[in-house]
Structures are given as C-alpha cells and as structure tokens.
A and B are shown apart, each in its own frame.
Chain A
Amino acid sequence: MTRDRSEMSEDDDDQQSQSQSPPLDLRSAAIAEPCSSSSSSFSVVDSTPNKSRNCISSGTLTSQPFPDHVLENVLENVLQFLDSRCDRNAASLVCKSWWRVEASTRSEVFIGNCYALSPSRLTQRFKRVSSLVLKGKPRFADFNLMPPDWGANFAPWVSTMAKAYPWLEKVDLKRMFVTDDDLALLAESFPGFKELILVCCEGFGTSGIAIVANKCRKLKVLDLIESEVTDDEVDWISCFPEDVTCLESLAFDCVEAPINFKALEGLVARSPCLKKLRLNRFVSLVELHRLLLGAPQLTSLGTGSFSHDEEPQSEQEPDYAAAFRACKSVVCLSGFRELMPEYLPAIYPVCANLTSLNFSYANISPDMFKPIIHNCHKLQVFWALDSICDEGLQAVAETCKELRELRIFPFDPREDSEGPVSEVGLQAISEGCRKLESILYFCQRMTNAAVIAMSENCPELTVFRLCIMGRHRPDHVTGKPMDEGFGAIVKNCKKLTRLAVSGLLTDQAFRYMGEYGKLVRTLSVAFAGDSDMALRHVLEGCPRLQKLEIRDSPFGDAALRSGMHRYYNMRFVWMSACSLTRGCCKDIARAMPNLVVEVIGSDDDDDNRDYVETLYMYRSLDGPRKDAPKFVAIL
C-alpha cells in the first residue's frame, strides 16, 4: 500500500528517511556546533570527519594499493544489501575503504537539490548507478513565486550520465526543466531504460514523449504526473513499438492533448503486464469502458474524463458498472476530470476494494458522495474537493477507519468565499480516522479546538498542512490567533516531520514549533508571525529542520543571521516578501562559502535595490551554478 500512496502523493519525498543532517566539507565551514552524527543524504567526497582516523588528508582520490582484496570483496557483498540511503551514507563515513566500496555498489542515488552538486561529481563518485532521483525547483515555484526559466535543467545531467551510465534504468525527476532533446538523448543513450517518472516537470512536449515511447524498448514505467506537456500534435501513443511491450505503468493524465484512442486500445491489448493506467481527460466514458473490458488486470486506474461529448445515444448505453465489476484488482482510482455525476454509481463494484481514491477533480456534492464513500471501508488515501462539504467528511470519518492520508482541495480557491469545509469536518475526521498520518486541508475557517482535537486523536500524524485561505484569519469562534492549535500539533504529534501553517499566528506559535518540533524537517510559513523572534525560535530549535519556506512574513536580517550555524545542514531556505536586505544576504554569502545565496528579483527593482524580494539559498559542493538567468543574482 505504501507504494500506491507514494505514487499519488506529491510529496513522497522524505517519508522514508528519518535523520538527515549531511555534513559538508568541514574544513571550510564555520560551524559552531558539531554536526549531528546521524546519516547524511549526500556526504562529501573527501571529508574525513573522524579526526582520530589516520587517513590521507590530501583529499585526493588516488587509491592506495589495498592489501586485502578479500576484505573488499566481502564488504562489497555485504554492502550490496544496504538499500536505504541513510544506511549507505552512514556506511560510507566509516573509513576510506568502506567509502570506496559503498560508492561502487550504490545503484540508486537520490539528489534532493540538483544544484547541490555537479553531474560530474555524481559520476566520479558513484560508478554503477542504475537509478536516479533528482529534484529541481523549490516548491514555491509551483505557485508562480519564481519567474520561469530559473533553471533546474536536466540537460547537463542527462548528457553526463549518457557517457557514464549506459546501463541506466530509471530516472525520477521532480520540478525539473526537461526538453524534448533531453528526452531524445535519454532514449538514445540508455538501451536498457525502464522507468521514466516526471513529476511537476515542464519544458517538453508530446514529441519528446514519442521519442521515449519509440526508442525505449524495455520501458516498464512512463509516468507523467502533474507536468506541463506541450501539445506538439504528435500521435505519441502510436510510437510505441508494435510488438508486446513491457509496460507496467502508463500515466498521462496531465497531458493536455487528444490521443489516438485506437492506438491506445491496441497498446493496452499488447501490454499484458500493465497494472497502472492513468488516462487524460480526452478519453471518454465509452472509450474507458472498452479499455476496461480489455484490461481487467489493472490495479490502478485513472478514469479520464468520465463523461462523453455527444448526447447519449439512443441505443443502449454500455454497462459501465459491469466493466468496473470485471476489474477485480483495481485498488486505486482517480481521474474523473470532467465528471458527469449521474455515471458515478458505475464505480460501486470497486469501492469495497479501494485503498486509494482521488476525487480532487470532481465537483461532487455531499449527496452524490455519501453513497459511494460508505462502501469504501478499506480506503487509506483519499483526495477530494471541498465540494463534499463537512457532511462528506463526516461520512468519510464514519466509514474510512483505515485512512492514512487525506487531502481536501478548494474547489474555489479564493480568499473570500464562504467555504464548504471547516473545523467541523476536521474534527469529525480526527475522531473517526485515528490512524491518520498525513493531512492537507484547505478551508476558510478553523478553530483551535478542532486542531487541538486532531493533535490528540491522531498521534500518528507525520504531515500536517493546514491552509486557512484567508490571510491572518484567527480562530473564527474565539477570535484568538491559531497559536494554540498549531502548538498542540507540534507538542502532541511526536512523529511530525512536515508542517505547514496558516491563519493568524503570533511569535508564540513559532516558540512552540521551535521547542516541540523535534522531528520537523519541512516547514512552510506564509503571512505569519510578528517579529524576528518567530523565525529565531525556529532556527534555534527544530533540530532536524531541512527545508524552510517562508513567504510574506515580517522576518528580517537579525532573524536570518541567527540561523547561520545550521544552513550547511539544511537543504534550502526560501524567503520571499520578507524584510531582508541585500547587505545581510551578502554577509552570509561571504561567511559561508559553500552556501549559494540567490537573490531573485523582478525585472525592474531599481527603486529599492537593497530590498530582497526573494531569497533562495542552499548548500552546494560545487559552488554557484553557471546557468543562472539574468534576474538571479548569486551573492
């Protein structure tokens, strides 16, 4: 089940990894406190943190003639069993020979920030990589807070890997800029290529996809998730080879281009291993029906539009429910991009088996929704629009006792609308779904009481993201700030690793976060806090903080400086529309040479040159990037 969850969720990121404080080259870092001894997500090539070891300190990689080949062989055989990157990072720090062997046996590499190192550093250290996970832009770029063309280009990575890893099998990119040429190079360079996953990426079109489909004969997974794919008017579905394919997963629900349905039908028919199929909205109900009849082995289905263009024909309509009934294995259901609600009952036959249901494109009323959800006893992951209202959430709470992840998106994301979900829904969920681990909840009004209730009822929470859409909104019953609610979350949810706050918050809320947020790795703050003290609480507390994103909050230079002791141990810090000055950012850049400090401004920011519109800073082993556009100043 965890597999399905991570596929659907946008931030599958760090739910596996626990302790992460990667040390950088300590010789040049001015770090006040010692790095934590926990494992790193990407340790430095030539660091030797253990002073007692008698190691070659020149930092060169020329290997000494190693007397004990047996030991190295044994090590290799043992280390091969280490899968988790935390374990591998720890192993690589033991001594040089362990480092060497680990580097030669690591097959899956995870890079959380593509600018933390250069592609050549990757290929120099790890020689047998078959799988790469690479992340680019910071998350706030999704909300237009960063101009396009900022960077995160896949090109240098693919061209370097083309020479170094001809056996590459898997590439998983998130928020990267990928061009058709990059995809073409990928398709040409890796004959055994099996899995391409592009999440929130852009820069390519259906031509690039066509090339991958055509040339990657061993392709098992082609997942395009929430990416922007231009319509080059290419029939990419027809570009898959004619013979039986190895396809196990094909997801193209984000592709805004019509497809050749006949070709798709043929493709599905000759893909016996196909388990996951996510259609885009250009596939109608009738077409879906035909596909289902031909692919009863599917486990994960994205239904496409779930509607049809023409008026229903006078002859008998297909028996959609029967098609769903035949899909005994479907456990994950999504799509419904242009749902015609009268057809929704067709999915009844699969409800009892569902562990994952995504209605987040379907504007369903509570009355339509309740009969469906009452069948979904096994549901663990549920995404929906707030059109289901508090009433719908109560129905979820009554039925879905196994719920682990809930996401409620706003149908109408304005700040001033009334809002169909509120603290009532949240309270109900907290009482009914005790196993809840992850929640993302958009609403217009909320109370501390409901948030506190959730903190007490759902001890397994690791992800708590509450977005009260009206800025600076207090508890709408008591009129007080939301400090106590979020305070309770950090206090009571001992496993919390990710937190996003909203509503009216004073410095007190941040005091709680700093003190109690012991495992928090990711923190998102918007329109919150009163003074620098708020940010200082967080930077001086929250020992595991890795990713900090702040917007429109009154935090200034003093607060930023207070975190200098830890920026090397973080993946990135984003601060936009705060009160930072360029001078301070320059100081930090000077004091911390391995930190890349980017100041991103709008084009004509001349009247206020000292003001920093957006600060994005991150550690890097290879210095500032060479591909920064004009509007990015690297201090």
Chain B
Amino acid sequence: MEGCHRNGEIAPKLLDLNLMITQESRRPWFHDDENSVFNTEERKLELKLGPPGGEDEHASSIIRHFKKEPKDKSILSLAGKHFSSSPSSTKTTSHKRTAPGPVVGWPPVRSFRKNLASGSSSKLGNDSTTSNGVALKNQKCDDDAKIMEPMRQGGMFVKINMYGVPIGRKVDLSVHDSYEQLSYTVDKLFRGLLAAQRDLSSSVEDEKPITGLLDGNGEYTLTYEDNEGDKMLVGDVPWQMFVSSVKRLRVIKTSEISSALTYGNGKQEKMRR
C-alpha cells in the first residue's frame, strides 16, 4: 500500500487499487479519520467525470435505514458507492453537488444512450468532424461502474466459418472435451447449411454428414487460428493446449490445405474462403 503515498505518482498497481476499494467500501465516507492522506491521494486518482479542481465533499449523512452499501466491483469507481441523503431541505439550490459517487444504473438510461456525450459531442454546431464509427458502442457496461462483462452463458465461444457457407456459427469449447466431440459439433452445425447452399431444395435425406475433418480424409478439414495469428490444423496438440490458444475456427476444403495454411501466417491478410 506504500505505493499510493508516493508523491506525484499516479500509477499504483492494480492490486493496490483493489485493496483501496475494499478498504474504502467498508469505511464510512464522512469520517475524516487518520487516513485523510489516504483520502486525498485517492481523490487525486479518482477517475471522475466532473471538472477537475476542488470537490465539494460535504459530510453528508448516509441514509439511516440502510444496512449495507451495495458492493462495487469497479476499479474505476474508487469513490465507492453510498448515498447522500438530504432529508431535511437544507439544500435548496441545485448547484451544490449532492452525490459524490456514481451509482450503478442511475440515472436509468440504457447503456447505448450513455455514450452519446463522448461520441458525438464534436458534431454540435458547424463542426463537420467525420464519424469514424467508434462513437457509439453498444456496450452493456455502464461507463461509471463496470460490473460484469456480457458473457454468453459463461462459455468459451469461438467463431467458426465454413468454406462455401456464408453463415458463420459459434462453438462453445467449454462444453467439449475432445477433438472427436468438436468434430461432431461441426458436422451438426454445418451439415444442413452446407446442403442448403448446394441445392436450395435439399431435404434432410440429401444431407451428407461432414466427416474426416481431423484426419485429412474428408472433403473438408478443420483448421484454427491461434492467439498469435497462426493458422494450424486442428488435432495436433493436446486438447487443453488447443483450447487455451484457439481464437477462431475454420473449415476449409482439404484440397486447399497447403495454400490456406501458408497464406497469411502471422498477421497477414485473412485467409480467403
């Protein structure tokens, strides 16, 4: 914790920040205790949206009926979460800031409406700054308090595309534990789609199973792209190693293997389907 007391340094380790948060969320805000230095240091580090400079941290009382302050998992929200209440009407003007810390989900504006200020403020008036598509991100997380990433059912999903099929799918690797199982899933995912591509009026009986994905014997072969951008054949390394490094799957024509794998190893252009 010494790191945060160093002068001028505004780069504590993340671990320190976490410790600071858990400490802070247990201590009532309004006590000006012996850790006041701690407070000011933290205030310097506090990432907030308001203007810099003097903050009006009045000793507001916590709402009396509350038993506990909601948990805050965010590194950004160093102020912790608590509520300032003004039950008496002492605060008659609104120019005083009544809420020192951000609160989850308040104001109740959906996330895709929240990023307007950062995105398109440059468009006001006669500014003709170009849009670069970064502006509005459809994020699920509040810009103040990032709770949890929008995970898809907690699984490990990787995209998978197949030669000849315009529609890509996703595979949850966390529910697979072997290459055979994966190969079976690929067949299940794409068999119908592939048949549909070949012949619009295909019926279930016309669908051929997709086999030989792993041994080079079938018409198609399963390949993957790892976290370094390299393209490899699926099946060569132990399953767990594969799962930890795979980023994307592709089903290619077996005849195209050599060209597909040499093409764009590393960070070159994407493999054409």
Contact = CB atoms under 8 A, between A and B. Distances in A.
Interface of A: 140, 142-145, 147-149, 179-180, 188, 202-203, 205, 207, 210-211, 214-215, 226, 228-229, 232-236, 238-239, 254, 256, 281-282, 305, 307-311, 337-342, 360-361, 363, 365, 385, 387, 409-416, 442, 444-445, 467, 469-474, 476, 478-481, 504, 526-527, 530-531, 551-552, 554, 556, 577, 579, 602, 604-605, 608, 611, 613
Given A143-B104, A211-B193, A282-B133, 17 more contacts: A144-B140, A144-B141, A188-B192, A210-B167, A215-B196, A232-B159, A254-B112, A281-B136, A307-B130, A338-B120, A338-B136, A442-B107, A469-B107, A471-B103, A526-B106, A604-B71, A613-B70
29 contacts: A148-B150, A149-B151, A203-B152, A228-B138, A233-B159, A234-B166, A281-B131, A305-B131, A307-B123, A310-B130, A311-B130, A338-B123, A339-B120, A341-B126, A342-B128, A365-B124, A387-B124, A414-B50, A467-B107, A470-B99, A471-B84, A472-B86, A473-B98, A476-B93, A526-B108, A552-B83, A552-B103, A556-B65, A613-B70
A587 B3 CA distance: 49
Contacts of B154: 149
Contact of A611 (B68, B99, B119, B125): B68
A422 to B, nearest CB: 9
Nearest to A553: B65
Contacts of A442: 107, 109
A148 B116 contact: no
Most chain-A CB neighbours within 10 Å: which of B85, B142, B151, B196? B85
Contacts of B84: 471-472
A149 B92 contact: no
B99 A471 contact: yes
Contacts of A556: 65
Interface in B52-83: 63-68, 70-71, 73, 83
A410 B120 contact: no
B113 interface: yes
A234 B167 contact: yes
Contacts of A472: 84-87, 98
A410 B89 contact: no
Contact of B110 (A143, A361, A416): A143
Nearest to B169: A207
A144 B145 contact: yes
Contacts, number: 216
Contacts of B112: 226, 254
Given A144-B105, A340-B123, A472-B86, A232 B168 contact: yes
- Identify whether the interface residues of A are mostly helix, strand, loop, or mixed: loop
A337 B135 CA distance: 10
A207 B66 contact: no
Contacts of B137: 256
Contact of B123 (A311, A341, A608): A341
A267 to B, nearest CB: 14
A202 to B, nearest CB: 7
B166 A239 contact: yes
B113 to A, nearest CB: 6
B117 to A, nearest CB: 5
B166 A238 contact: yes
B247 interface: no
A211 B85 CA distance: 52
B210 interface: no
B89 A361 contact: no
A210 B107 contact: no
Interface centre among B83, B105, B121, B132 (most CB of A within 10 A): B105
B195 interface: no
B134 to A, nearest CB: 10
Contacts of A236: 167
